[in-house]
Structure 1
Amino acid sequence: MLKTERQQSILAMCDRYGTITVKFIQEVLAVSDMTIRRDLEELAQKKQLLRVHGGAQKMTSEEQLISSIEGTKAANELSHNEKKKLHTKEKEYIAKHAAAYITKEDDTIFLGSGTTIELMTQYIEHDSLRIVTNSLPVFNLLSETKRFELYLIGGLYREKTGAFVGSIANEAVQKIGIKKAFVGVNGLKGTEVSNFSIEEGTLQKIVLDNAAEKCLVSDANKFDHSDFYNFYDLRKIDALFTDSTLSAELKSYYQQYTKIIQ
């Protein structure tokens, strides 16, 4: 049997049974243990299945989507639409808890760019708030409710994230007193908080420095990872909102730097 035929057979077995063992593949294809293991490693590297102890497992549709999108993440920033498709349940969970942290009427709140923060707009309960944002999607979502005093920070528009950045935006946020700021991240590594864009990171740093309470939102897969630009020190953050999938080990490690809210 040719290698391509053998690997197609392995993928077909994965699709049918979900999880298969090396021993089972051996019995079906009558090839050596070493050959099967090489095939499984190669298919796993191609993101066509998941390698598990003693065999392999079919990838879910979401895992396939994440693999295909994040495969180029190191070199390219994901688009706004691509990010919206990733870790949706986790982001929904974070958004609810972060929005519940807004407890006082008449506060000035800053909401940054990012798909998790966009979801927060659905769960803000208080009406008497002044909300400042540099995110066009966040502004559009909030303007539809007609509930808040809204301020959209202008500047250079970044289509990738729907955010306004640059010197005009930086100057504007420097003059605003913020009670609570919510900022999204692309990576958390030790005390370093990072994202892809220097321009967005610069504005986020200014906002966090000016805020009485500094909050980050991040799904668990961003922990112990770093992106291109380190824009803040985690030890200065008051609260970090994440989802319930964060491991106890990582939570314990990062709690030495800030308060983790799940």
Structure 2
Amino acid sequence: MYQEERLVSIIEFLKQHNRISVDQICSLFHVSRDTARRDLVRLEEEKAILRTRGGAILPSYRDEIKSYSNRLNFVSEEKKRIGRTAAKLIFPSDRVILDASTTVQSCAEQLENLNCTIITNSINQAEVLSNKSKLNIHLLGGTLEKDHRYLYGSTVIDKLSEYLVDKVFIGVVGISEHGLTIAHEEDGVVKRKMMEQAKQVIVLADRTKLGITDFYRFADLQDIDILITDQIPPPSFRDLLIKYKVELLTAN
């Protein structure tokens, strides 16, 4: 195995297990302790890990979440596939909540012009859906988060409590054994309420979100019915989904 391949595998191991030792690297990849240490030095130089006594952990920092408009410029083909798969789960007469994430917007963009009701706190989702003549759209009113293009606050929560819907589609920054996490508390509070009002909770998360834990936990894995992602997750993550009875859909 080339060093570049080992480095990728070491990072994947860290995402699943939080830490790795020199002895584990030697055992997993059949290399000497000197080689294992060189791998860790290389990863540290690339700022991918923090070295510890006898091993390494992942850095505790998180990249700053870019504004919604900036994130839209980098919507990947994987997110588009996830959105397409999610859109196929919305049927005529459904009552649906869409949150304010770029992956969920991909679902909105690919939704057919159906006779159904959509509730959202995203001004972008409302604009995208306004071109579909058969849709009935409810835009939740509240305080506008300008950078991330969503409405939040007590008025949004109070209004959500009046709706009982068939499905909710939720985006995340991270999904792990610690549950569903997001960067901003006010966003997470709204997402939690959205989930409480739905019969079926569907989470959209590309592979880069799996095994990640961010700042604010707004739900547990047991609160999810379906996870849609773009690749089959590692066995340890699939075991988590089985444990909490989460159905896995992989977007084609």
TM-score, normalising length from structure 2?
0.73
- Quote the Cα distance in structure 1 between the aligned partners of 2:141 and 2:167: 20
- Quote the Cα distance in structure 2 between the aligned partners of 1:191 and 1:100: 29
- Deviant stretches of 4+, over 4 Å: none
Instruction: Please name the residue that 2:211 is paired with.
Output: 224
SS class of match (2:81) = helix
Instruction: Please name the residue that 2:82 is paired with.
Output: 94
Instruction: Please name the residue that 2:106 is paired with.
Output: 119
- Pair 1:135-2:122 in alignment: yes
SS class of match (1:172) = helix
- Which deviates the most, 216-225 or 144-153? 144-153
1:145-175 per-residue CA deviation (whole Å, 9 max, x = no partner) reads: 3331111001011123211001111111111
Q: Is the contact between residue 190 and residue 254 of structure 1 (CA under 8 Å) also seen in structure 2?
A: no
Give, as a single letter, the amino acid of the residue that structure 1 aligns with 2:191: Q
Instruction: Please name the residue that 1:171 is paired with.
Output: 158
1:53-86 per-residue CA deviation (whole Å, 9 max, x = no partner) reads: xxxxxxxxxxxxxxxxxx9972633211332244
- Pair 1:202-2:189 in alignment: yes
SS class of match (1:255) = helix
Percent sequence identity is: 23
Q: Is the contact between residue 178 and residue 213 of structure 2 (CA under 8 Å) also seen in structure 1?
A: no
Instruction: Please name the residue that 1:79 is paired with.
Output: 67
Where in structure 2 are there 5+ consecutive unaligned residues?
5-34, 49-58
Q: Is the contact between residue 191 and residue 235 of structure 1 (CA under 8 Å) also seen in structure 2?
A: no
Between structure 1 and structure 2, the one with the greater Rg is: 1
Q: Is the contact between residue 182 and residue 217 of structure 1 (CA under 8 Å) also seen in structure 2?
A: yes
The alpha carbon displacement at 1:249 in A equals: 4.4
Q: Is the contact between residue 170 and residue 204 of structure 2 (CA under 8 Å) also seen in structure 1?
A: yes
Provide closer, same or farther for how the CA distance between residues 73 and 166 of structure 1 changes in structure 2, counting only shifts above 3 A.
farther
Instruction: Please name the residue that 1:65 is paired with.
Output: none
Equivalent runs, 1:37-116 vs 2, <5 Å? 41=42, 45=46, 74=62, 76-86=64-74, 88-103=76-91, 105-116=92-103
1:98-150 per-residue CA deviation (whole Å, 9 max, x = no partner) reads: 111113x2111111011111111232225110111000100000112333111
- Quote the Cα distance in structure 2 between the aligned partners of 1:194 and 1:42: 26
The alpha carbon displacement at 1:225 in A equals: 0.8
Provide closer, same or farther for how the CA distance between residues 260 and 157 of structure 1 changes in structure 2, counting only shifts above 3 A.
same
- Quote the Cα distance in structure 2 between the aligned partners of 1:251 and 1:86: 27
Over aligned residues, Cα RMSD in angstroms?
2.6
Instruction: Please name the residue that 1:259 is paired with.
Output: 247
Q: Is the contact between residue 124 and residue 149 of structure 2 (CA under 8 Å) also seen in structure 1?
A: yes
- Quote the Cα distance in structure 2 between the aligned partners of 1:149 and 1:42: 51
Where in structure 1 are there 5+ consecutive unaligned residues?
1-18, 20-33, 48-70
Equivalent runs, 1:8-47 vs 2, <5 Å? 41=42, 45=46
TM-score, normalising length from structure 1?
0.70
